[in-house]
Amino acid sequence: MKRPWLNPKRTLVFAVGVLCVTSLLPANLSQSIARIPRTIVYFPVTPVADLLHRVASPIFKSADLRIDTGGQQQLERNYTDNLAYSRKLEAQLEAAAQEILRLRQVREFQSLSKLSFVPANVISGPDLLSPRLTINKGARHGLRENLVVVYGSTLVGRISTVETNTATVALITSPRTRLDARVVPPTPGQAPVEMNTQLAISHDRSAFTSIIDATANVAQVGDLAHLHDGLWPPEAQGLIVGKVTAVSKNPDNPTLEDRIVVQPLYALPYLTRVDVLVPAGEVH
């Protein structure tokens, strides 16, 4: 059987030989020789490639990704708006945390006492002449005068007047308020020992002050003042009046006396929700 003269092996050997020969020729001559087969290949391929390019161009057309940022002023406004929104979320988160703490304290307080808690919203706050709150619960909800009002385990005041659907709360920060309190460390068993004292509201009604015996050295910043006053109902005893924020020498008698400042835990005039303590059996 006669073998064909042109087969793959001979074609490969021929191609290698041509490459070897063209590599020894001058550059201009080798480029001229190589142009001939390149032209032969390009001639049928180029029309097909152009056709495929025209068909694919509408499909793979690049999208316009230009973004109009509105300039530097618009970017600054966007930053300011985002910052304000972030601060608003932080304030809402803090308010939610305080509400959770209040509810936890209410639950703990309920478990230790036979009291009912009547929640109420504050519908109007105090003015310069009348440090009182008005709440949206009244006689029809079982409220009466002298009931104790709290926020969590913090003493807010007590009801002074009652209407059918509203009531007025006299704050403990009212002028000329004096409260007997027991100052103790925030952690039970922590030194120093507890101390009884009388708290008087300051002229600006922002805090209480008291003069104590300096030689006893029993009050420290961070201690809590709990109500221990026989003029208040039993259910008010032990409620938190505030926290000691400053201890300093009494200018009138620096050797023997200290002056402490007790700050309420919350800004009482700006509360939006409170709870009224009602002895069991009085709630309608």
Residue-range domains of the chain with CATH: 80-170+273-279 (2.40.10.340), 178-263 (2.40.10)
- Please give the residue that has the higher pLDDT: either 63 or 206: 206
* Chain segment 190-214, per-residue pLDDT in tens: 544 568 899 999 888 889 999 988 8
pLDDT value at 103 more than 70:
no
Cα–Cα distance measured from residue 46 to residue 224, given in angstroms and rounded to the nearest whole number:
91
**Sequence-ordered alpha helix ranges (H) in 186-252:** none
CA dihedral sign, ordered 211, 156, 232, 104: negative
123-154 pLDDT, tens digit each: 988 766 678 999 999 999 999 999 999 998 89
Under DSSP, is residue 251 helix (H, G, I), strand (E, B) or coil?
coil
Backbone angles phi, psi at 67, to 5 degrees: -115, 125
CB contact set of 1 (below 8 Å; sequence gap of 6+): none
Query: Which pLDDT does position 185 carry in this prediction?
Result: 83
pTM for the structure as a whole: 0.60
Q: What is the dihedral of CA 195, 104, 206, 259, to 10 degrees?
A: 20
What are the backbone angles phi and psi of residue 137, rounded to the nearest 5°? Answer: -130, 145
